[in-house]
Structure formats: structure tokens, C-alpha cells
């Protein structure tokens, strides 16, 4: 069971890194989004996909209420992920960047921390109420739109302020410490490339094994064998997720994915519905044949398509979401089963195992970005440690609640009331307060004092959860 859970976590993270992020990068370039909007939407979506989809899967079909184990696992997984990223990951980032003496932008930090506190307060209200209606879900999810607007406003305001300071005298060193996401020193294209590549590259390298450099033929042979063994896990996704990236382009594969993707989607939809799946699969097959012919006629073997590129990117985005959703469902089912077998609370597994598995990509990406050195790397990493949880809570839970309310309207969705959820919320707030106190006192410098404090808080959180599990057993 543990081995299969590890495989599922790998598949979930690999799908997000190899396919999801690739589609997001292409969409960002195609839409020419401003860096601030791209960072607050597409980048957060890429980083938070596993958490958001796990939450969506946990509330799937819960329009009739009931507040079962899957909902508790999904809710605790999102909150546990917020705790892990804002405390443990940020603590490691602070230890890594502590020797560089870099500082982060005060306005960006307080904005992200304030919105995370607002998101946690909204979750506390929902849990205390024990249920949520469709308008409450709309209001909950809409908070993220307010956050995106705040991010979009911040760079213009603070860049204009910096220009005024330069006109009146030398600017302070800290005035240059703006996030890559929030700066005008880069062109729009450069900023988009940096903010997406800095986060996606470490994930791609880690999960694909490309971070192994040197070592001769032995390591090359090892990774060749590993890729062959992983073929049953990678081939189904490769043949059903459209991929227009230059590095992996293949016309044969593209035609195959265009043909098989509608069949796969039709099978998923028919599997959830009552009755025979044959009509839906047959319709998907007909659509697939048409799309396969179009792909064959409009693509070249030598390079990715330039015509209908938006359709390819949208298809890759949709299919990567579909695959991640299927895998997230399996993860939740396995965790609920494990809680029954081990006689432990399902929410306790969500706040630990599910949170760790979904947030592994955040740990790898944020630490890798912080290790690049300089203020920009530290700023992006710190922003990611707060912006990611904001997205996961407001969009992951918000969209889950909204879809569940829509499916069960006019009934409300029942929310499990568990003491562990309040405990997790409390510890996230404690970690936030520690950062809010220590960073301003130290001139917004990310140092080891901040890191050790955050790691100590997370260690206390884990110890208390383990002791609670022992008491329950």
C-alpha cells in the first residue's frame, strides 16, 4: 500500500511538472500576460495543481452533503499543505538563503501574508458553520480575484514610487528587491520566462532524472533502465495528453494524442454516469478520428505547430488536469482505506501524508530558486511559500465547494467539524505571526533565525499530531 501510494504521488507530481507546467508556459507566452498576473494565476496554478485537484476530488459528488472521510482528507490535506509550505519549506528556504544576507520586498510580503490570513479566516468560518451554500462558495472563491487584483496593482504602485525616489536621490538597497513576478526591470517576456522556468525546471529535472550530470555510462544506463520500467506509467499519459513543446515534439505522437484524448475523456465521463458507457465512448472515438485527421493535415514532423497553437495548449492543459484528477482520486481512496485498516483518523493522514506528497514539488522548486542566489531568487521563493497556499486554499477549496454546491443545489454542502482542522489552522497562523514579527525586526532579511523558528513550529505541529494519533488508537 505504501509503495503504491508513493507511485501515485510520483505520477501526480510528474503530470503537473512534465505536462501541466509545459502547457501553462505556452499559454502564458501566447496570451502575453503581464508578469504579475501570470505569476498570481498560471504559476500558482502550476505549483498548486496537486493540492487543488486533490481538494476537488475529495468534494467530488458531495453536493448532497454528508461530510465523509474523503472530504476530511481533502480539507486537511490543503490546510496541511499550507502549513508545510509556509513553515517547513519557508524554513528550509531561509536556512538556504540565510548566508546571503538578502532581503525581500516589504509590500509584497505583507500583502501575501495578509491574504493568507484572510484565506485561513474564511476557512475557519466555513468549518465553524459546518456547511456552505452556493453564494458562500462564490464569495469564498472570489477572494482569489481580489488577490490577483492586489498583485496586479502592487508592481505599478511600487515601481512608480521607486522612480520617484531615484529622482530625489539614491534609492535604498532594499528598494530594488522586488519579486521577479512584480518588477518592471525585466521586459514582459523575460519576466514570464524567468518566473515559469525558475519554478518548472527543477521539477522537470527532479522527476525526469535529468538533474544527473556526468557519471559516465553507468548512470546513463541506470536511467535508461528506469525509464523502461516506468513505461507502463508514462506511456498512457504520453499517448493521451497533447504536447506542443519543442523538446518532446513528435508528429506521430501528436496525431495519436489527438485521436485518443477524446476517447479517454468520454470514458471518464461515462464512468461517472449511469447506463452503458458504449454510446459516449463511440462518440469520443468519432471525435477522435476527426481530430486525428486534422492533426495529421496541419502539423509538420520537424517542429511543433504554429497554427491552432492555442487549441494544442488548451488540449494539453485539459488532459493533464483530467489525468491529475484521476490520480488524485486514487490517492484519496487509498488514504481513506489506509485510515480504516490502520484505525487512524483519515484527516490525520491528509494533514501529513497527503500534504507531504502534494507539496514535494513546492519544496524542490522553491529551494532550487532560492539557491540561485541574489534577492530575486529569495523573493520568488518567499512569495511562492505564501502565494501557493493562498491559491490552494481559495481556489482549490473554493472551486471544490462551488462545484459541489452547484451539483447539489439548493442543498448545502456539509463540512466536517474536526478538532484537527482547527489545530492546523492555529499552527499556520503561529508560523505567519513568527514571520510577520521576525522579518521586519531584521530589516526584511531572510536569515537562519527565521528558518529555525519556522522549522521548530512545524516540528511541534507534527509531534502534536502524532501524539493525538496515539491517543486515538
Work out the average pLDDT over 196-223.
51
Q: Which three cell numbers stand for residue 239?
A: 499517448
pLDDT beyond 80 at 218: no
Predicted pLDDT at 174: 34
Q: Where are the domains of the chain?
A: 2-214+228-245+308-472, 250-302
Within 13 Å of residue 389, how many CA atoms lie on the same side as its CB?
Answer: 36
78 within 8 A of 393, measured Cβ to Cβ: yes
Work out the average pLDDT over 134-162.
75
pLDDT-derived band of residue 70, with 50, 70 and 90 as boundaries? low
pLDDT beyond 90 at 39: no
Predicted pLDDT at 199: 45
pLDDT beyond 80 at 387: yes
Predicted pLDDT at 157: 45
DSSP label at residue 170: P
Predicted pLDDT at 62: 46
pLDDT beyond 60 at 371: yes
pLDDT-derived band of residue 208, with 50, 70 and 90 as boundaries? very low
Alpha helices in 212-277 (DSSP H): 216-229, 231-238, 251-272
Q: Which of 258-272, 317-331, 446-460 has the highest mean pLDDT?
A: 446-460
> How far apart, in whole angstroms, are the C-alpha atoms of residue 96 and residue 203?
18
Lowest-pLDDT choice from 94-103, 297-306, 455-464: 94-103
Predicted pLDDT at 176: 33
Torsion (CA) 323, 326, 331, 335 in degrees, nearest 10:
170
Predicted pLDDT at 274: 55
The fraction of the chain above a pLDDT of 90, given in percent, is 15
Query: Tell me, which fold does domain 2-214+228-245+308-472 have in CATH?
Result: A middle domain of Talin 1 (1.20.1420)
Q: Which has the closest alpha carbon to 465: 403, 420, 428, 433? A: 420
Please compute Rg for the chain using Cα positions. 23
pLDDT beyond 90 at 459: yes
Work out the average pLDDT over 244-269.
87
The fraction of the chain above a pLDDT of 70, given in percent, is 72
Lowest-pLDDT choice from 190-194, 218-222, 262-266, 427-431: 190-194
Predicted pLDDT at 182: 37
pLDDT beyond 80 at 205: no
pLDDT beyond 90 at 429: yes
- Could you tell me which residue, 445 or 5, shows the higher pLDDT? 445
pLDDT beyond 70 at 393: yes
E strands present in 257-416: 413-414
pLDDT beyond 80 at 366: no
pLDDT beyond 90 at 396: no
- Could you tell me which residue, 71 or 320, shows the higher pLDDT? 320
> How far apart, in whole angstroms, are the C-alpha atoms of residue 200 and residue 380?
13
Predicted pLDDT at 338: 78
60 within 8 A of 74, measured Cβ to Cβ: no
pLDDT-derived band of residue 473, with 50, 70 and 90 as boundaries? low
pLDDT beyond 80 at 222: no
Amino acid at each position: 500500500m505504501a509503495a503504491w501510494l508513493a507511485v501515485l504521488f510520483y505520477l501526480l507530481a510528474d503530470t503537473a511538472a512534465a505536462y501541466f507546467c509545459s502547457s501553462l508556459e505556452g499559454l502564458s507566452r501566447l496570451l502575453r500576460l503581464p508578469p504579475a498576473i501570470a505569476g498570481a494565476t498560471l504559476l500558482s496554478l502550476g505549483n498548486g495543481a496537486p493540492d487543488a485537484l486533490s481538494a476537488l476530488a475529495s468534494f467530488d459528488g458531495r453536493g448532497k452533503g454528508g461530510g465523509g472521510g474523503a472530504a476530511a482528507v481533502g480539507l486537511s490535506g490543503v490546510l496541511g499543505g499550507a502549513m508545510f509550505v509556509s513553515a517547513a519549506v519557508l524554513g528550509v528556504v531561509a536556512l538556504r538563503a540565510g548566508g546571503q544576507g538578502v532581503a525581500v520586498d516589504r509590500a509584497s510580503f505583507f500583502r501575501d501574508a495578509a491574504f493568507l490570513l484572510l484565506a485561513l479566516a474564511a476557512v475557519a468560518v466555513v468549518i465553524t458553520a459546518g456547511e456552505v451554500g452556493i453564494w458562500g462558495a462564490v464569495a469564498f472563491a472570489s477572494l482569489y480575484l481580489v488577490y490577483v487584483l492586489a498583485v496586479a496593482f502592487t508592481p505599478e504602485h511600487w515601481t512608480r514610487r521607486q522612480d520617484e525616489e531615484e529622482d530625489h536621490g539614491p534609492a535604498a538597497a532594499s528598494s530594488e528587491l522586488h519579486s521577479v513576478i512584480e518588477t518592471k526591470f525585466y521586459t514582459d517576456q523575460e519576466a514570464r520566462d524567468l518566473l515559469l522556468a525558475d519554478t518548472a525546471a527543477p521539477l522537470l529535472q527532479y522527476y525526469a532524472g535529468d538533474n544527473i550530470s556526468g557519471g559516465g555510462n553507468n548512470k546513463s544506463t541506470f536511467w535508461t533502465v528506469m525509464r523502461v520500467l516506468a513505461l507502463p506509467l508514462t506511456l498512457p499519459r504520453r499517448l493521451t495528453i497533447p504536447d506542443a513543446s519543442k523538446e518532446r515534439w513528435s508528429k506521430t505522437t501528436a496525431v495519436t494524442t489527438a485521436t485518443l484524448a477524446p476517447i479517454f475523456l468520454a470514458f471518464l465521463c461515462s464512468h461517472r454516469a449511469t447506463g452503458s458507457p458504449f454510446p459516449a465512448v463511440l462518440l469520443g472515438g468519432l471525435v477522435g478520428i476527426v481530430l486525428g485527421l486534422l492533426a495529421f493535415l496541419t502539423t509538420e514532423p520537424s517542429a511543433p505547430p504554429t497554427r491552432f497553437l492555442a487549441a494544442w495548449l488548451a488540449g494539453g492543459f485539459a488532459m493533464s488536469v483530467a489525468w491529475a484528477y484521476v490520480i488524485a482520486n486514487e490517492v484519496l481512496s487509498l488514504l481513506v482505506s489506509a485510515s480504516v485498516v490502520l484505525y487512524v483518523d483519515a484527516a490525520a493522514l491528509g494533514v501529513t501524508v497527503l500534504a507531504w506528497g502534494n507539496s514535494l514539488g513546492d519544496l524542490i522548486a522553491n529551494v532550487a530558486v532560492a539557491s540561485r542566489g541574489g534577492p530575486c531568487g529569495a523573493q520568488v521563493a518567499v512569495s511562492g511559500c505564501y502565494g501557493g497556499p493562498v491559491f490552494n486554499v481559495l481556489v482549490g477549496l473554493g472551486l471544490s465547494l462551488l462545484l459541489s454546491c452547484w451539483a447539489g443545489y439548493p442543498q448545502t454542502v456539509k463540512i466536517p467539524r474536526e478538532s484537527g482542522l482547527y489545530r492546523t489552522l492555529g499552527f499556520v497562523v503561529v508560523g505567519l505571526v513568527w514571520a510577520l514579527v521576525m522579518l521586519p525586526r531584521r530589516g526584511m532579511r531572510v536569515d537562519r533565525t527565521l528558518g529555525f523558528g519556522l522549522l521548530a513550529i512545524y516540528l511541534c505541529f507534527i509531534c502534536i499530531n502524532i501524539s493525538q494519533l496515539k491517543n486515538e488508537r
